[in-house]
């Protein structure tokens, strides 16, 4: 509810508390990912959504948001590049 009302700080507190009590609570993990997304913290959003998919592989929300988060590519990891 707090997330829908735009209270990101309180929503983040509640999702963090929920995932601390139950680390595999995919509803709370999804909420944490959505808060991070709205705050512009794409690294935290990615971590949350990847964890959601580890717990609930078919979760469409996590898949949808992960597809929208760009993956930075380190040039040193590209084939044919010196390491």
> Which pLDDT score, from 0 to 100, does residue 10 have?
87
Among 1-5, 19-23, 65-69, 75-79, the minimum mean pLDDT is found in 75-79
> Is pLDDT of 9 > 80?
yes
Rounded to two decimals, the pTM is 0.76
Token pair recorded at residue 81: 């590049």
- Three-state secondary structure of 31-48: HHHHHHHHHCCHHHHHHH
Q: What tens digit of pLDDT does each residue of 25-83 get? A: 989 999 999 999 999 899 999 999 999 999 999 999 999 999 998 876 454 544 554 54
Token pair recorded at residue 31: 């909420």
């Amino acid at each position: 509810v707090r997330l829908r009302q735009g209270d990101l700080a309180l929503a983040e507190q509640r999702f963090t508390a929920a995932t601390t009590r139950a680390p595999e609570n995919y509803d709370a993990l999804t909420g944490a990912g959505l808060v991070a997304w709205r705050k512009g913290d794409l690294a935290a959003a990615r971590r949350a959504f990847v964890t959601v998919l580890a717990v609930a592989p078919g979760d469409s929300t996590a898949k949808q948001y992960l597809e929208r988060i760009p993956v930075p590519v380190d040039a040193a990891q590209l084939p044919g590049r010196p390491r």
